[in-house]
Amino acid sequence: MPRIFDFGGRDVHRSQTVAGLKALKGLGRQAAQVTAETADEAAAAEAAGIEMVVCRAASVPRVREGSKAVFVTAALGFADAITSEEILRTAFDAILKGADAVLCSRGYETVRMLADEQVPVMGHLGFVPRKSTWVGGVRSVGKTAEEALDLWDRFRRLEDAGAFAVECEIIAAPAMAEIYKRTNLVTVSLGSGADADVQFLFTSDICGESGRLPRHARAWGNLARLHDQVRKERVEALTAYRAAVAERTFPVANEFSAMSDVELERLKSALDV
C-alpha cells in the first residue's frame, strides 16, 4: 500500500493514489469505487478491499474516521459552493480534512481553477442527474454517433482543463469503449459498461437497500429485509412499553431507587412541619 503525505500533511498509507489510478490503463486491471457517508460504510468498504469511495464534502471527516486507507473523492455539491471563492474554499477544506480528490460537475474554468492549485479533480460526464433537463430525461447518453462525438469533445475539453479523472454515468457502452481507447483521463464507469479504469456502484444498491434497483446496478445483499425487521422490532418494543405503562406494570421495584424507612420518616416529618 503506497505511503504518501496527504494534503493535510499527515503521513498515511492509501489503497490508491492519483498516480496509481493513472497507471491502471497500462496494468490492465480495474479499481472499485462505492459511496460512503458514514464511518461504518467507509470501514466496511476498506474491509471488503474496495479501493475508492465517494462522499459529500461535508462527510469527509466521518468517512476518514472509518478508514484511513481508502481513496476518498469529495463531491462538491451545487448548493454547497457556488462562487469561485466558495468552490476553492470547499475543495481545500475537503482535502485538508483527508480527501484525496474532489468531484466537480461544474464548468471547465472551474476545473481549471482547481487543477491550477494541484487539487486532483474528477469531472462528471454522460448522464448528470442534476443536468438531465439538457438530455430530456433519465436516459443513456451517446447512443447516436452525433451525441457520442459531442461527448468525446467534452472528454477532451475536460482533460485540457486539467482533470485527472471523470465519472462516466450511463454512457452507451460501445461509445464508452471507443472513448476509453482514446482518452488519458482515468475513467470511472457508473452504468457505462466494462471498458473503464474504475467500476462504480452505490453502496445502497450493492447491499440491497434501494427500493428500486437501477438497470446498471446489482444487489449482492438484502439489507432492506434487515431494515424491515428492525422497524418491526422497534414498533413491537414501543407498543409493549406503552402497554406496560397503561397496565402499571412499569416500573417495578428493581427499576427505581428506594429510601430506607428511617430516612423516609425523617422526610415526612420535615415536610409536615
Positions marked catalytic? 169
Q: Which of 35, 174, 3 is nearest to 103 (CA)?
A: 35
Q: How far apart are CA 117 and CA 35, in angstroms?
A: 26
Q: How far apart are CA 21 and CA 264, in angstroms?
A: 74
Q: How many CB atoms are located within 10 Å of the residue 122 CB?
A: 27
As beta bridge partners, residue 169 has 126, 190
Phi, psi (5° rounding) for residue 259?
A: -125, 150
Within 8 A by CB and 6+ apart from 235, the residues are: none
Q: Which of 223, 203, 211 is nearest to 59 (CA)?
A: 203
Q: How far apart are CA 268 and CA 262, in angstroms?
A: 10
Cell of residue 117, nine digits: 492549485
Q: Which of 5, 13, 23, 12 is nearest to 164 (CA)?
A: 23
Asked, as a colleague might, if the bond just before 251 is cis with ω within 30 of 0, I would say yes
Q: Which of 125, 124, 129, 152 is nearest to 139 (CA)?
A: 129
